[in-house]
Amino acid sequence: MALTDFADKGLFAPRKMAELFRTTSEDIARTAGLGKDAVQRKDRVSSDKTQRRLREMAEVLNKVEPRFGSALMAYAWYRSEPLSGFSGQTAMQLVRARRAEDVLDYLHAIDAGVHA
């Protein structure tokens, strides 16, 4: 999976993400911490906030997909697996709380052999 798999005309596209993860655009919005208007209205899809949240989600998923062997498994992990050291919060909960960098740092630490 590449970041371009999530894009359409230079923007992250909730519709393409939904197709890849076999869900709805509204579910993608909730997963990224956005309201459904953010993915339904064209002007909101291209807003900085919406694009930033979708990018953060895509970066985390792109980072973990090779570990699981499929985009669907990476998405399931993102939504449901509690991360050690984060009071049992999932990557999704942390990204929604604007802590995507913490998730990426955690993943980099694991890659480096540091137990988080």
- pLDDT above 80 (res 112): yes
Q: What angle do CA 94, 98, 100 make, to 5 degrees?
A: 60
Give per-residue pLDDT as tens, 54-83. Answer: 999 999 999 999 999 999 999 999 999 999
Average pLDDT value over all residues in the chain: 90
Rounding to the nearest 10 degrees, give the CA dihedral for residues 4, 18, 44, 100: -70
Question: Helix, strand, coil proportions of the chain in percent (round to 5)?
Answer: 65, 5, 30
| Helix (H) or strand (E) run with residue 104 in it | helix 100-111
Q: Domains of the chain: which residue ranges?
A: 3-111
pTM for the model stands at: 0.86
